[in-house]
Amino acid sequence: MRAPLSTTIAIGAGTLTLLGFFIPVEALTSVRSLLIEWAVLLAGVAGLVAIAHLLSVHWRKMTASRNRNVTSAFLLIAFGITFAAGMVLKPGHPTMQKVVTHIQVPIEASLMGVLAISLTVAAIRLFQRRGGWMSVLFAVSAFVFLIIGSGFLSSSANIPVLKDLLAAVNALPVAGARGILIGIALGSLTTGLRVLLGTDRPYSG
């Protein structure tokens, strides 16, 4: 067996956690809580490692002898300033929160606006690039849900069939979403069993 110690630890931890979820015993619940807290701590450390890796990558790109990326310097400089401000002002300071609300939120919102325009242009040129029934179906469905999502038809409650029609149309994405959720649940269950049975050992490297 490959990595027997890691496999034993993983199966044991998973089994205890699962038993602690189904069996309301104080000992199992405590062990389950302890293991999950360890997982949260490891996730936090993983976040720090990810930050360090991001900085190292941009440092290499900035100091590379060939194809040097100057924009990486902006990232490093911005990180240094934000980190220093956070260490001095603490994260709950209103100035530190404005870093997000006054810089990050407008930038990301602008990107969403550009995305909306790009998607609109792509939808306009849909029949220019590709024809066929799938394009027609996509265009019709996009058009219908744009109208419904806009709430334009919701204000016309006096139309007799409209209410039933909207309910039927809104049931389509719900049906699809439920199928996706069932698939996700089965996949999660299978993955959990494989890890518990030792068939899948992603921790063994």
Whether 203 contacts 6, CB under 8 Å: yes
Please say which residue, 52 or 100, places its beta carbon nearer to other proteins. Answer: 100
Q: Which residue has the tokens 């959990």?
A: 192
Is-contact 13 204, C-beta < 8 A?
no
176 touches other proteins by CB under 8 A? yes
Minimal distance, residue 139 CB to other proteins, in Å: 5
Tell whether the torsion through CA atoms of 91, 96, 98 and 104 is positive or negative.
negative
Taking the complex as a whole, the smallest distance from the CB of residue 177 to other proteins amounts, in Å, to 4
Interface characters, 181-200, with other proteins (x: CB under 8 A): x--x----------------
Nearest CA among 162, 157, 121 for reference residue 144 = 162
Query: SS3 helix, strand, coil % of the chain, rounded to 5?
Result: 80, 0, 20
Q: How many residues bind other proteins (CB under 8 A)?
A: 62
* Binding stretches for other proteins (CB under 8 A): 29, 32-33, 36-37, 39-40, 43-44, 47, 90-92, 94, 96-97, 99-101, 104-105, 107-109, 111-112, 116-118, 120-121, 123-128, 131, 139, 142-143, 146-147, 149-157, 163, 166, 173-174, 176-178, 180-181, 184
